[in-house]
């Protein structure tokens, strides 16, 4: 009896039928989510998972499948995927995890759930034109000069301003 209960629970947990799973499936990139059989190969392959116990791609997929919408969207976990696709190489069900997590980020962003550290990164790029402005020292400039590389990197700023105007502020090129 107890074993049957456990089995039933597993079947329910792995049943891809939650409204959140269907929502993710409808989002661009999220199409493959229903194929996951929860084997765990992705977690065993993932270098982020090897660095922190917090990140478990199989578990994240499971949370989507069983409908933990708010927990997933308000978490930073979908943002930790580096899109290396190693898990996808090994997934025997051809689940496109990195794109599924991108799809989840799209939904989270629309609803205003962007983790602060990621928002800060975007703000920094929009402000300086690139992420490493504060780290760009005279030494680096000298090294670039020695290597014959461009030392005037203001074009970063110009480029970002144009991207911001066109895609973020909604203006024309």
What does the alpha-carbon distance between residue 42 and residue 87 come to, in Å, rounded to a whole number?
4
Least distance between ligand SF4 and beta carbon 28 (Å): 17
Burial grade of 144 (CB within 10 A; 0-12, 13-18, 19 or more): middle
Please tell me whether residue 61 binds ligand SF4 under the rule CB under 6 A.
yes
Which CB sits closer to ligand SF4, 35 or 124? 35
- Other beta carbons within 10 Å of 106: 16
Residues in contact with ligand SF4, counted by CB under 6 A, come to a total of 25
Please tell me whether residue 104 binds ligand SF4 under the rule CB under 6 A.
no
- Other beta carbons within 10 Å of 142: 11
* Dihedral, CA of residue 49, residue 52, residue 58 and residue 63, to nearest 10: -150
Please tell me whether residue 65 binds ligand SF4 under the rule CB under 6 A.
no
Least distance between ligand SF4 and beta carbon 14 (Å): 10
Matching residue, tokens 């943002």: 79
Which CB sits closer to ligand SF4, 96 or 129? 96
Query: Interface residues with ligand SF4 (CB under 6 A)?
Result: 36-42, 45-46, 48, 57-58, 61, 81-87, 91, 93, 95, 97-98
């Amino acid at each position: 009896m107890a074993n049957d209960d456990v089995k039933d629970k597993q079947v329910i947990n792995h049943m891809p039928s939650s409204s959140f799973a269907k929502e993710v499936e409808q989002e661009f990139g999220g199409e493959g989510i229903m194929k996951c059989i929860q084997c765990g190969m992705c977690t065993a392959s993932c270098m982020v998972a090897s660095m922190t116990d917090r990140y478990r791609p199989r578990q994240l997929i499971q949370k989507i499948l069983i409908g933990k919408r708010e927990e997933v969207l308000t978490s930073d976990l979908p943002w930790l995927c580096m899109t290396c696709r190693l898990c996808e190489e090994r997934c025997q069900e051809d689940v496109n995890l990195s794109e599924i997590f991108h799809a989840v980020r799209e939904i989270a962003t629309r609803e205003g759930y962007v983790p602060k550290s990621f928002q800060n990164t975007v703000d920094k790029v929009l402000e300086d034109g690139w992420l490493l402005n504060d780290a760009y020292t005279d030494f680096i400039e000298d090294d670039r000069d020695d290597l014959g590389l461009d030392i005037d990197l203001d074009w970063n700023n110009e480029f970002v301003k144009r991207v911001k105007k066109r895609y973020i502020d909604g203006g024309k090129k």
